[in-house]
Amino acid sequence: DIYYQMFVNFSSQVEVDRLISVAVTMCQVPRLVLGIMATSKGLVVGDLRYTNTEGVIVDCNLAVGGDTIPQDVTGIQNIETSAKFVLVVEKDAVFQRLLEEAVLESSLAPLIMITGKGVPDLATRQLVYMLATQLCLPVLILTDCDPYGLDIFLMYKYSSLSMSWAAEPLAVTSSLWLGVLPSDLEPLGIPAASMKPHSDQDTKKMMDLSQRGYINDEMRHQLELMWDIGRKAEIQQIVEMRDPGFLAHEYLPEKIET
């Protein structure tokens, strides 16, 4: 709303977002304290119940297709769950596919599943952080096997570079990259012909990731494999080449077990 209320003063929404980040950093307070809330785009489903800021009890088990993550995550109360872990899925298409494959009734249940629909917004990261820190739930992250999937995992694990000096605690350093890993591609039998070559942007992103000081040995190994393979794979490719239910009932349980 800030941009549209004062659009003559700003060149784009991106400029507004950048200035808000600067203001939050300078004031060293969360955005909510400044009266700033962004529209949430993330979804959550599974074994999670809470009371929202309007006093309404929300049961995420009842949300067909996922419940929209509230804008004011820090204001929710009375959080209840029996979940064993939080599964964060990069893309909404995979999130919905897992629901179709009855992941909530699988051997993985009870669980909480979240998607940020690509690059996660602030509310999505706040919810993941809250579940990990307040409820001590393990966080497992499922992304495409490409540089941007790895970058999204790192946003959840270490927060984004653009918010590295912001006051909001967002990093879940205990989170794990479940897949799809470059080392998964050969065992899964995904042929190179079915994968797209890395673009110039992908190559640039890999070079950027390799220079980040917090990349540990295992992540660096996976990044080097990604570079050597020279191609990228989407989660949907794994699904399309297997029997229905493979992702929820075979791939994920095996990955979590190991």
Active site residues: 4
Radius of gyration of the CA atoms of the chain, in A? 19
- Quick one: three-class SS letters along 7-65? HHHCCCHHHHHHHHHHHHHHHCCCHHHHCCCCCCCCEEEECCEEECCCCCEEEHHHCCC
| Residues 120, 153 contacting (CB under 8 angstroms) | no
φ and ψ at residue 21, rounded to 5 degrees: -60, -40
Report DSSP state, residue 189.
T
Determine contact, residues 205/158, Cβ cutoff 8 Å.
no
CA pair distance 233, 123, nearest whole angstrom: 28
Tell me if the bond preceding 103 is cis, omega within 30° of 0.
no
